[in-house]
Amino acid sequence: MDQEQESRYSVKSRIGDLAFFGGTPAFEDALHVGRPNIGNRRKFDERVHDILDRKWLTNAGIYVKEFERRIAEYAGVEHCIATCNATIALEIVIRALGMAGEVIVPAFTHVVTAHVLQWLGIIPVFCDIDARTHTIDPNQVDRLISSRTTGILGVHLWGRPCDIEALSDIAKRRSLKLVFDAAQALGCTYGGRMIGSFGTVEVFSFHATKFLNSLEGGAIVTNDSELARKVRLMKNFGFAGNDSVECIGTNGKMNEVSAAMGLTNLESVTDFISINRRNHKQYQDGLAGLDGVALLPYQEERSCNYQYVVLEVDESKTMLTRDQVMRILHAENILARRYFYPGCHRVEPYRTLYPNAHLHLPETECVAARVLTLPTGQVITPRIISAICNIIRTVIKNAEEIGKLLQGMPAN
């Protein structure tokens, strides 16, 4: 998006200015949530050339090894095992820890957090969240533990760490494994310590949409040397050496080009954080004082990657539903997303397997109906955010009238 197009963003002050009601869309090109952050291209190109020259594309190449060292260093953890993605990493970890029976998991997360359990024949027991933090509620966890429970799979949603202290206490007291899905939480801290070394083990994702991407990729991080050795074997078919297979395994390896991308982007994390932070602050200022819409705040005393701008639309105050706000933004080419909607318990196979799960998930249901994530990251400039905030303000200020106009229109 060039300066010229940006300077054309006009201020929208009336309902008729909104694209949904006949105005010109604010953006010619769609603004997506989760456009990748990309570091120094020349460095990436050089690394890729080097990989091709060496003719060593995967299997513990030098770039993967360096990436593992750098991630371990950055996250302040002893062992890092890079993988092809976080999904396989979680499956390997769960299997390596011998988790079985039931595992407690939040219902408000990427569906894959439930899938990895179900895929391994483990029952995901859906736990409610704390509506203020969007992370698993430790008080509920305690009540869901049964004789079949073998572990807790917490999620640092939006990069906000779960209540690690309370969960660690429960896990210790009830002799449960504690695994953290830290897919979204690289670069975030808890109690002054980087996410990466909490629980038994944590898993990062380096998917294209995540804070730091390696095209696709993931990592298992832990201070447990025994576990580290085991998952390293398991991600490589169980091979301990040529002709020597020690255990069951899968193919969870990261390739060299992914590692090159990860390393290149890791060199720019400080820039990524400051851009995300600047964007988040601007959204916060731009939407301040509006009744019924608010950004989920990041705690300033914690470091964070600010990768998600999470708007909560409180229908009882705005008179407009989150979905109505979303439709109006989409008409402007602002492709805001209802992330983790409608909750794991409301999609297949869980909806059919556990039809009554929603009964004990009131906070999940409520938050899932309110959340709208807004575009941020490297490609989103201050001018774009001004234009988005202007549109949201115009929508909320005219909510009552817009609500009347929308009545009688089909929901989609």
Ligand X SMILES: *Cc1c(COP(=O)(O)O)cnc(C)c1O
Q: Using CB under 6 A, pick the residue from 79, 115, 134, 207 that binds ligand X.
A: 207
Q: Can residue 390 be called a binding residue for ligand X (CB under 6 A)?
A: no
Binding window for ligand X (CB under 6 A); candidates: 12-20, 177-185, 291-299, 347-355: 177-185
Burial classification of residue 193, based on how many CB atoms lie within 10 Å of its CB (0-12 exposed, 13-18 middle, 19 or more buried): middle
- Closest separation in Å from C-beta 62 to ligand X: 23
Q: Can residue 205 be called a binding residue for ligand X (CB under 6 A)?
A: yes
**Binding residues for ligand X restricted to 57-96, rule: CB under 6 A:** 85-87
- Max distance between CA atoms of the chain, in angstroms, equals 72
Nearer to ligand X, 282 or 307 (CB): 307
- Closest separation in Å from C-beta 85 to ligand X: 4
Q: Can residue 236 be called a binding residue for ligand X (CB under 6 A)?
A: no
**Binding residues for ligand X restricted to 119-158, rule: CB under 6 A:** 155
Backbone phi, then psi, for 366, in 5-degree steps? -65, -50
Q: What tokens were used for 312?
A: 């909560």
Q: Can residue 258 be called a binding residue for ligand X (CB under 6 A)?
A: no
- Closest separation in Å from C-beta 201 to ligand X: 14
Amino acid occupying residue 227: L
Taking the CA atoms of residue 223, residue 114, residue 306 and residue 215 in that order, the dihedral angle to the nearest 10 degrees is 80
- Alpha helix positions (H), 76-193: 86-96, 112-119, 138-144, 164-173
- Bond before 342 cis per omega within 30 degrees: yes
Nearer to ligand X, 47 or 160 (CB): 160
Q: Can residue 160 be called a binding residue for ligand X (CB under 6 A)?
A: no
Nearer to ligand X, 111 or 379 (CB): 111
Query: What is the total count of residues that contact ligand X (CB under 6 A)?
Result: 14
Closest of 35, 38, 111, 37 to residue 334, by C-alpha? 35
Q: What tokens were used for 357?
A: 């799960």
- Closest separation in Å from C-beta 214 to ligand X: 9
- Bond before 161 cis per omega within 30 degrees: no
Beta bridge pairs of residue 295: 311
Nearer to ligand X, 265 or 282 (CB): 265
Beta bridge pairs of residue 334: 31
- Closest separation in Å from C-beta 109 to ligand X: 5
Binding window for ligand X (CB under 6 A); candidates: 94-102, 108-116, 272-280, 373-381: 108-116
Distance CA 338, CA 106 (A): 17
Residue that has been written with the tokens 């999620």 in this structure? 155
Nearer to ligand X, 218 or 249 (CB): 218
Nearer to ligand X, 26 or 155 (CB): 155
Which CA distances in Å does 202 have to 32, 132, 351? 28, 23, 28
- Closest separation in Å from C-beta 350 to ligand X: 16
Q: Can residue 218 be called a binding residue for ligand X (CB under 6 A)?
A: yes
Q: What tokens were used for 265?
A: 């982007």
Which CA distances in Å does 174 have to 31, 74, 99, 182, 292? 46, 32, 14, 23, 41
Q: Can residue 110 be called a binding residue for ligand X (CB under 6 A)?
A: yes
Q: Can residue 181 be called a binding residue for ligand X (CB under 6 A)?
A: yes
DSSP label at residue 230: H
Nearer to ligand X, 115 or 177 (CB): 115
Nearer to ligand X, 203 or 406 (CB): 203
Give 85's contacts (C-beta < 8 A, 6+ positions apart).
205, 207, 216, 217, 218
Nearer to ligand X, 84 or 406 (CB): 84
Q: How many CB atoms lie within 10 A of CB 279?
A: 22
Q: Using CB under 6 A, pick the residue from 149, 184, 305, 364 that binds ligand X.
A: 184
- Closest separation in Å from C-beta 170 to ligand X: 20
Give 167's contacts (C-beta < 8 A, 6+ positions apart).
136, 138, 141, 152, 154, 178, 199
Q: How many CB atoms lie within 10 A of CB 7?
A: 9
Q: Can residue 183 be called a binding residue for ligand X (CB under 6 A)?
A: yes
Q: Can residue 279 be called a binding residue for ligand X (CB under 6 A)?
A: no
Q: Using CB under 6 A, pick the residue from 37, 109, 135, 265 that binds ligand X.
A: 109
- Name the site residues for ligand X (rule: CB under 6 A): 85-87, 109-110, 112-113, 155, 181, 183-184, 205, 207, 218
